[in-house]
Amino acid sequence: MAIPKALLLAIVGCICLCSSAVLSARELGDTAMVERHEQWMAKFNRVYKDGTEKAQRFEVFKANVAFIESFNAENRKFWLGVNQFTDLTNDEFRATKTNKGLKMSGGRAPTGFKYSNVSIDALPTAVDWRTKGVVTPIKDQGQCVATEGIVKLSTGKLISLSEQELVDCDVHGVDQGCEGGEMDDAFKFIIKNGGLTTEANYPYTAQDGQCKTSIASNSVATIKGYEDVPANDESSLMKAVANQPVSVAVDGGDVIFQHYSGGVMTGSCGTDLDHGIAAIGYGMTSDGTKYWLLKNSWGTTWGESGYLRMEKDISDKSGMCGLAMQPSYPTE
Ligand SMILES: *[C@@H]1O[C@H](CO)[C@@H](O)[C@H](O)[C@H]1NC(C)=O
């Protein structure tokens, strides 16, 4: 008796389906993770050069997701999330997003501190310079937040300043603009150059280039000087931040920094200063945790839409991730 062709097809089909079901059951965990990695690649426009690299990056991604999930299961005051850095090991992240090679020296030339006599008791309990129109939108690059802030406060004009001009034209060879190395060097450059031009005039290119002197001479905003906030004193930092956005250096290379997603960052962090951010306010959560509000420059997919909160007034005088060690601000 001949087996009808349709039945035969059904049997063959079943064997195929059943065996693939067994296979996917065995690899179910990874299948979901492979799918997640694919979606992540699409979201962040990540393209790998070949299957080997993709397999390698997948393993890093998987390990990072596991770390994020186990961290979040501990229900701390802050949480981590998958972001554009999730296929990087922490060493790779440190190497690309911070300036480990550009150690910030401890020795800063002494400056005045014009807020020294401000009374702490007279300061507002919460400050957020974003609500005063003093902060430009989050950029996916270095930042000139403190300079943009003082320009707005003194001229009334909020101008997104050219980070690239600093990268290309700062003769210090400090190629990290406002973000890296000695932040005071960025202020020194702006003063010597007679200011900075706009982001629109001299846009970001993500690499070191020749200084376009004709554009660079077209300064729209400048500062007269800068001052350092006395080191390792969060009270002094509070006096300054209540009056204007302040540049702070932090240790931004930690895994908790790599995947920070929201909440008030607390607990252990390094003090190996390697990243520049801006303190743009402070406040207190409903559970009484005091925090600094900071603006980062890693786009809006990092942190709280590009912002970060870190615990304020901790017992370690260096501050969370060393934020109180080298704050400084431009003056008008
Ligand atoms: C702070 O007060 C002291 C004493 O009155 C004064 O000598 C000093 O100049 C003041 N500092 C600033 C920065 O205003």
CA count, 13 A, side-chain hemisphere, 25: 6
**Structure tokens that stand for 208 in this block:** 């070191």
Nearest-CA residue for ligand 1 atom 1 is: 117
Secondary structure (3-state) at 279: strand
Binned at pLDDT 50, 70 and 90, residue 307 comes out as very high
Nearest-CA residue for ligand 1 atom 5 is: 117
Give the number of residues written for the chain. 332
Tens of pLDDT, residues 136-152: 877 766 557 778 878 87
CA count, 13 A, side-chain hemisphere, 263: 17
What does the domain layout of the chain look like in residue ranges? Answer: 8-75, 90-331
Tens of pLDDT, residues 214-225: 887 788 888 888
- Pair 302, 258: CB distance under 8 Å: no
Average of per-residue pLDDT across 2-26: 49
Query: Comparing C-alpha atoms, which of 150, 177, 151 is closest to residue 163?
Result: 177
Helices (H), 141-244: 145-155, 163-169, 183-193, 213-216, 234-243
Q: Is 3.90.70.10 the CATH number for 90-331?
A: yes
pLDDT above 90 as % of the chain: 50
**How far, in Å, CA of 109 to CA of 184, rounded?**
10
**How far, in Å, CA of 321 to CA of 311, rounded?**
10
Secondary structure (3-state) at 280: strand
Give 257: exposed, middle or buried? Use CB within 10 Å, 0-12, 13-18, 19+. Answer: buried
Compute the distance from residue 117 Cα to the ligand 1 centre, in Å: 6
Q: Which atom of ligand 1 is nearest to the CA of 112?
A: 13
Q: Which atom of ligand 1 is nearest to the CA of 116?
A: 13
